[in-house]
Amino acid sequence: MNDTHVKSLSILPLGRLKLEQSVLTYREGVGLPVEVPVTGAFVEMSDGEHILFDTGISPCVLEGQSHLPERLKNLIASFDPEDDIRYRLNQLGYKPEDVAIVVNSHLHWDHSGANHLFPDARFVMQDREVRFASRPDPFVQRVYVSNQYESIKTLDVLQGDQILKPGVALMTTPGHTPGHQSMLVRLPSGRVMILTGDAVFCPANFDPAVPPGNAHTPAEAVLTIQRIKMLGEFLDAGIVICHDPGLWEAWKPCPYKYT
Ligand SMILES: [Zn+2]
């Protein structure tokens, strides 16, 4: 019998972005500035094969030697030394070497920025995202920074939904990008947590289903949002929305461990 299970889930603050409201809610709030968090998540596993969900903004911005183009740097509202993913892992008692698996929800610059800090991890991405990121449609090309994900040594490419480890599942949630995926985590308490990534941007996307303004395919994003909403209600799950402006009112940041 395999008794591998999730020990805890922690939500990691990884900086803040300045966007406009219409990025969160399709065509609503054009020109209205809004500040949003960037977040990742760490899943502590009983077998020591710990999992990281998204790596956030590249900590290279701290040293002023970022490879990021100016137009992306200008979106960063704040990135403090504490927002470095190494600092967040340290708060939990871990080092980058302790991360066995890195899941990228998708390959946008603010979700794969610190991928290079995990050279020995196994990366897990959706096939559609890997293929799309190698040649993005021109209108979304600027948010893909290819040197953040081109030199990965060990890459598992998934085709669709899959159980990653006992208590951890990956679910395709296309719309924001063609190959976006979200992660489901079953806590020791039995509660399911859904880490949406960018499939949802704020609770206002749910009722009625309104896509984020920057969705690659808004109609597909709406179907994804409805699926997440249904699953959330059906499973009585906690829904952790990566860029939700109200995220830290809803959930506690690391070093808190949800169990
Ligand atoms: Zn994104």
Q: How many whole angstroms from 62 Cα to the centroid of ligand 1? A: 21
**What DSSP letter does each residue of the chain carry, written as one string?**
-----EEEEEEEEEEEEEEEHHHHTTTSSTT-EEEEEEEEEEEEETTS-EEEE---S-GGGGGT---S-HHHHTTEEE--GGGSHHHHHHHTT--GGGEEEEE-S--BTTTSTTGGG-TTSEEEEEHHHHHHHHS--GGGGGGB-GGGTTT-SEEEEE-S-EEEETTEEEEE-TTSSTT-EEEEEE-TTS-EEEEEETS--SGGGTTTT---TT-SSHHHHHHHHHHHHHHHHHHT-EEEETT-TTHHHHSPBTT--B-
Instruction: Say which CATH class 6-246 falls into.
Output: alpha beta
Q: How far is the CA of 199 from the centre of ligand 1 (A)?
A: 8
Q: Distance, CA 108 to ligand 1 centroid (Å)? A: 5
Write down the pLDDT at residue 66: 72
- pLDDT (tens, 9 = 90+) of the chain, 259 residues, equals 679 999 999 999 999 999 999 999 999 899 999 999 999 999 999 999 999 999 999 988 887 767 888 899 999 999 999 999 999 999 999 999 999 999 999 999 999 999 999 999 999 999 999 999 999 999 999 999 998 888 899 999 999 999 999 999 999 999 999 999 999 999 999 999 999 999 999 999 999 999 999 999 999 999 999 999 999 999 999 999 999 999 999 999 999 999 9
Residues with CB under 5 A from ligand 1 (ion): 108, 198
**CA 2 to ligand 1 centroid distance, Å:** 35
Predicted local distance difference test score (pLDDT) of residue 61: 83
The pLDDT of residue 147: 87
Distance 135 CA to ligand 1 centre (A): 16
Q: What is the pLDDT of residue 1?
A: 61
Predicted local confidence at residue 65, as pLDDT: 67
pTM, two decimal places: 0.96
116: CA distance to ligand 1 center in Å?
18
What distance in angstroms lies between residue 74's CA and the mean position of ligand 1's atoms? 16
Residue 62: per-residue pLDDT:
82
